[in-house]
Chains A and B, each alone.
Chain A
Amino acid sequence: MILTLLFTTFVTVFLAEIGDKTQLTTITLSSTTNKPLAVFIGSSLALILATLLGALAGGSIANLIPAFSLKLLSGIVFLIIGINLLSQSKKEFSNDIL
């Protein structure tokens, strides 16, 4: 019974998250940095904490922090990382000694 519940949750969440923007971010971060372990630990911690917060807030996290502000904020973070990566690729083109 417990195992069934565990398995059902696992499969549901796994399928929901695969190919999500989160995983895209993880792929991007781990392929452009040399520290896959750091990316793995960081993203796992973030996902677990976000899940825990969601569970504790009982689905009302959107009432505490309006969803649009979260989207704006994370959008800005993505923009910053994107610009960062673009300038990094420019730098890599100019000194490809690696």
Chain B
Amino acid sequence: MYPGTRNEVYFILITILKLAFKKIFVKMKKDQGGLLKGFPVAFDSAKNTSLHPDFLNELSRKFAGKLLTRHEILINDQMFQHLLSETLFQPIPSIQKSILSSPTCNRCNNTKKSLFALIPCTKCNEFHYYCRKCIMMGRVMECEPLYFWTGRSYPWPKLINPCSWTGTLTKAQENAAEKIVDAISEGKELLIWAVTGAGKTEMLFPGITKALEQGKRVCIATPRADVVRELLPRLQQAFSSVQIQGLFSGSRDNDGTAQLIISTTHQLYRYRRAFDVLIIDEIDAFPYHHDASLQFAADRAKKENAALIYLTATPRDRQQDLIASQKLNHVFVPIRFHGHSLPIPTMIHCTSGTKTLPPQFLSWIKNRIKRERQLLVFVPTIKLANDLKKSIAKLLFAENLIFRHSEIEHVHAEDKNREEKILNFRNKKIYTLITTTILERGVTFPSVDVAVLYAGHQVFDEAALVQISGRAGRSPQDPTGEVIFFHDGQTNAMVRAVKAIKQMNKRAEIFKKKKGESR
């Protein structure tokens, strides 16, 4: 026997072994196909995987519906490789290169060339593209794929009586709530156009209740972290037996594993086909309205046949067009929850420079009817908020409206103590709050008068002015409030805002007559 024969024998043996293994492997894959279709857990996972069913369950709760980078998956390398080999995770290239056009980021759908850059990669010793658009969510690099969970989805429980809210809805709210319930059970798209102070959040409760009872996963997304912070305690109160997580950049509880999630629209970058119901609050707000990638993320975060509910008080032209052409179902809620009409802004022409307070503002402060109301002053820029604080304080001291310097504060987007100041204002520890447009929406103070200084500035567009006016008269105890635009020349935005508010009040009157609601 010459040595070659032995080799041949080995070769044949190895081939046979390989074939046998392949057969087993294919069989395993088939089983996994069944797993994907959703066989009962205990049955299939015990059969083809070494992993404990409870552990698999835990994993699917954590990762089903997520699209994550390796850094965001807190599993050690060995276990992760194992999960990959069992095709429980599927890698997706994070950045798609193309020869003719600029690359595409598969996380945020960025295709703008200036928002990609090259970085020398220490692992691969070559230059790679990375996406600068979504870098605040952690960098995605060409050589690091995104991972999507392809194991079975998590069976969210069908909750029994999840809602602990005991209030009642007004007829206007009820009307909208019914439509929301219908949209959620049928998986449709619906826009709720409700005036400021209509009680949008409460209108959602029946719909959310229905969804949770059907074992659906719900996400309320909003462009602003402030709104998440405000909504979270209200929902926790209304659904006290349900685990709810609030996600925003820097939130404590941020693994996003709850059945009911409140999140900023930015956090939706981390989801893919996760939610049966996606509610987007304040769709017309910055930055969601301006940022196509956030809209892309929202679209990807919902399941294919999910219900999509939009909430807004000031729809933009685009949504108005969709409504007018009947491409988007909508409900209009023209009436505030306490039944009173919206305060109509007064425009006062001022004659002054940009550094000092207009004399018309001084005389308005002196002659205000209800002096016990707190004062919310909007200014267009951070610098003005700083500059005017002193002179406004001086005026208020002279009028005996405040007695301590701590009773007047100013806030803006970069203010670290912003939450604290807003809370103090709500608790009436602060009498006057000077703010930029960050407080234009989503916040409720019971009894305030609102002044807008330099209302002609371009940051005060129609939507902003309508929202700002909506801060006044929000409580049933004090349903009116003054709203004054101080300007040095009327802008279209101001005129259109006043017109829009008047129109909504008119529609409210018609609604009241039709429904015979007197409250």
- Answer yes or no: do A and B interact: no
A→B interface (CB under 8 Å) = none
B residues contacting A by CB (< 8 A) are: none
